[in-house]
């Protein structure tokens, strides 16, 4: 069971909002400071490790920049959205951010409520209201990558690449 405080975002949240283009080559610590600064100033100071984003339709639209990594670096435990842009979803897998599509999730939660995720049953539940929703299942391999840090840690464990920072 994964549970966390909900932060709500609407439809068509662009990757530029999570990782502005002018910081694309900046160190990750600098990128993290800019997450949602254009549409929710101060959000990075308020979000806490384990919090969860409840998003609308087409979450993560835009470019293939590693915006999912920026959310993970802010401590976001999961993204649960009505629908997730395909490029963003792939980056969530690659960078170890749990991302699920769940029809009805945006209307089922108010910001600040607690969202619970069961990956055994692919259900999402509002702890305050008791309302439960069915999330779309994610293939086991992709789920494993998201839950275990993403593609690079997987490749390191398999001995296929050197650990990051090791030449």
pLDDT digits (tens, 9 = 90+) for 59-89: 999 989 999 999 999 999 999 999 999 999 9
Query: What structural domains does the chain harbor?
Result: 2-157 (3.20.19.10)
Report the predicted TM-score, pTM, of the whole model to 2 decimal places: 0.94
pLDDT given for residue 167 in this prediction? 53
CA separation for the pair 23, 15 (Å, rounded): 12
CA angle 108, 114, 45 (to 5 degrees): 110
**Residues 136, 52: Cα–Cα separation, whole Å:** 17
Residues 6+ apart with CB under 8 A from 13: 55, 56, 58, 59, 60, 61
DSSP type of residue 49: T
Weakly modelled stretches of the chain, pLDDT under 50 = none
In the prediction, which pLDDT does 158 show? 86
Token pair belonging to 19: 């990782």
Query: Residue 37 corresponds to which tokens in the numbers above?
Result: 């600064």
Residue 164: its pLDDT value, please? 74
Residues 6+ apart with CB under 8 A from 116: 1, 2, 3, 124, 125, 126, 127
């Amino acid at each position: 069971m994964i549970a966390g405080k909900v932060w709500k975002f609407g439809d068509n949240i662009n990757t530029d909002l999570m990782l502005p283009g002018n910081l694309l080559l900046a160190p990750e610590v600098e990128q993290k400071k800019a997450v949602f600064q254009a549409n929710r100033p101060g959000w990075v100071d308020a979000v806490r490790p384990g919090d969860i984003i409840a998003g609308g339709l087409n979450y993560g639209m835009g470019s293939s920049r590693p915006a999912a990594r920026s959310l993970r670096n802010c401590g976001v435990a999961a993204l649960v959205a009505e629908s997730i842009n395909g490029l963003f979803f792939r980056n969530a897998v690659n960078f170890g951010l749990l991302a699920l599509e769940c029809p009805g999730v945006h209307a089922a939660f108010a910001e600040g409520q607690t969202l619970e995720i069961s990956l055994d049953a692919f259900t999402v539940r509002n702890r305050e209201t008791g309302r439960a929703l069915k999330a779309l299942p994610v293939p086991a391999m992709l789920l494993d990558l998201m839950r275990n840090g993403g593609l690079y840690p997987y490749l390191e464990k398999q001995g296929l690449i050197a650990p990051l920072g090791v030449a």
